[in-house]
Amino acid sequence: MTALLFYAGLFALLTLEEAGVFLLPGDISLVAAGMQAAQGGSVLVISWLCASAGMVIGSTILFHAVGTSDRLERAMPERVVNLVKRHHVWGVFLARLVPGLRNATVFAASASNLPYRVFLWGLVPAALIWSGALLMAGYFGGDAVLSLFGHLHHSRVLKVVSLALLLGVAVVLFVRLQREDNSESTKGRIEAASVKEA
């Protein structure tokens, strides 16, 4: 029963993180799950499958949520959207393996109207590789890997840089949306004026 709760918890945590609750400790949890398996507390393969399934389901939820939001689609930088459009499966697969781009890839894929089936072909193998790598790091590296995560987590410089990046992204998205709204309203006024003149 305890093992079942452990697998369900790992699945739920990664589902929520990938669905947009970005502050959850998904990567550290995978390393800890690898350590748990090394100590005989769980089965590594089952943890791997639960984690990968959680990543896929969470990313699927985020993909469809972004697809229903017109504002989020418009806020995505065109270069990122074009990259996903150009490389399809390989673009999703490779970007999902780059820390910092993993969730942005979901936004870009949805904003570029990439078919869900194509997105899934890139997402599933990337989820299997990412979760497997972190589980193996915990299984073989144990305390050393967790200690490294701990040092990074408590680093003030890293926290300041992360916060600055987050605020920067928020400002860029806000400005981009404001410009688009202003250009659309200006375009609407011009069209209305030309209709009156005609």
How do the domains of the chain map onto residue ranges?
Answer: 2-154, 155-198
Separation CA 70–CA 172 (nearest Å)? 17
DSSP 8-state class, residue 1:
-
In this model, does residue 42 exceed pLDDT 80?
A: yes
Average of pLDDT values for 70-97? 70
Average of pLDDT values for 71-89? 64
Handedness of CA 165, 168, 174, 177 (dihedral sign): negative
pLDDT-based confidence at residue 102 (cuts at 50, 70, 90): confident
Query: First-to-last CA distance in the chain?
Result: 75
Between these two residues, 183 and 52, which has the higher pLDDT value? 52
Between these two residues, 134 and 172, which has the higher pLDDT value? 134
* Longest Cα separation, the chain: 79
Computed on alpha carbons and rounded to an integer, the radius of gyration of the chain in Å comes to 21
pLDDT at 155: 60
Between these two residues, 43 and 72, which has the higher pLDDT value? 43
pLDDT at 88: 80
- Given a contact cutoff of 8 angstroms between Cβ atoms, the answer to whether 74 and 27 are in contact is no
Name the residue type at position 148. Answer: L
Average of pLDDT values for 157-168? 63
pLDDT tens readout for residues 104-119 = 788 888 877 888 999 9
Q: How many CB atoms lie within 10 A of CB 84?
A: 28
pLDDT at 187: 66
Name the residue type at position 102. Answer: R
pLDDT at 21: 82
Between these two residues, 95 and 1, which has the higher pLDDT value? 95
16-28 in b/e form (b: 16+ CB < 10 A) is: bbbbbeeebebbb
In this model, does residue 73 exceed pLDDT 60?
A: no
- Given a contact cutoff of 8 angstroms between Cβ atoms, the answer to whether 74 and 117 are in contact is no
